[in-house]
Structure 1
Amino acid sequence: MLKVVNRLKPASKTLVFAACLAVAGACTPIFKNHGYIPPPEDLAEIKVGVDTRESVEEAVGAPSSSGVVRDSGFYYVRSRVRHYGPKRPEVVSRELLAISFDDRGVVRNIERFGLEDGIVVPLDRRITESTIENRGFLRQLLGNIGNFNPANIPGASN
């Protein structure tokens, strides 16, 4: 192999070197971070039984989401996803910080959950299903030919 590389012209050597770099770069994992969890220093400022919703929001920022039920809590979520070549992206870490409040709006508890604890925190998006079937644009457009009824036009007289 070394003899073959030595016989190549300098431009070809550069091309082979660039191709090797491209292949090595394609196999490098890429990490993407999503979300926000306040740092421990900011969380240390929050006193259970003393701080309120407003003081928590001032100290650590607005939550990623809050509870569906009024006055239930603040939730901060952070995920780290690894993308590796053609493989499906993999969640390598996910943390959830839950700050719960009592009926008066005072901090009741601060909890952390994550993949490291063996607790899987599934993130779910609810998407409204469309009534459009899996058809292309032209098929949808041409499929409506013949379905036109002038009586369905608003304001049309009978």
Structure 2
Amino acid sequence: MVRKFVAILCVLVVAGCTSVYRNHGYVPKDEELSEIVVGVDTRDTVAETVGSPSAGGVLDSSGYYYVQSRVRHFAYRRPEVVSREVLAITFDNAGVVRNIERFGLEDGQVVPLTRRVTETAASDNGFLRQLLRNLGNFAAGDILE
């Protein structure tokens, strides 16, 4: 009985210490991209050839962006992005392919994000603190009325 318990415990410990990898997104393969001709293909033919993009540019004249990430999950640690690939297909004003570029995780730059928080007059009090604070704020005559 003890041996079975120890064996099950060992299996659970080993299973808990293994990494789990998850893939997110889609980037077309080089074979599919070889079918796209710069200066000839349009937005519609690109979408037919390699599929719809993960993201599009903010402006109509900007490009299609295909993003694929591989994330490693390990025990209690934060998920870590192991690899990321971005394929950018840019178009000119007429909607014709102008350029195809690939970017990897090593090409990226860390962008510091600022957090703007509006200050409020509310204080950070929990339920129990508010309850205990109100214990002395009433008179016995108020309860009898």
TM range (shorter): 0.7 to 0.9
Identify if the C-alpha distance between structure 1 residues 48 and 27 changes in structure 2 by more than 3 Å, giving closer, same or farther.
same
Unaligned runs of 5+ in 1: 1-10, 124-128, 140-158
Identify if the C-alpha distance between structure 1 residues 134 and 96 changes in structure 2 by more than 3 Å, giving closer, same or farther.
farther
C-alpha separation in 2, matches of 1:72 and 1:100: 6
Deviation at 1:41, TM superposition (A): 1.5
Aligned partner (choices 102, 107, 123) of residue 119 of structure 1: 107
Where does residue 51 of structure 2 map in the other structure?
61
C-alpha separation in 1, matches of 2:22 and 2:123: 31
Deviation at 1:93, TM superposition (A): 0.2
Deviation at 1:97, TM superposition (A): 0.2
Whether 1:28 aligns to 2:21 is: no
Pairwise CA RMSD:
2.9
Where does residue 48 of structure 1 map in the other structure?
38
Where does residue 83 of structure 1 map in the other structure?
73
Task: State TM-score, norm by structure 2.
Answer: 0.75
Identity, in percent, stands at 51
Per-residue CA deviation, residues 49-69 of structure 1 (Å, 9 max, x unaligned), is 110000000001111111112
Consecutive aligned runs of 4 or more in structure 1 exceeding 2 Å deviation: 129-139
Deviation at 1:40, TM superposition (A): 1.6
Asked if structure 2 preserves the Cα contact closer than 8 Å seen for 1:31 and 1:83, the reply is yes
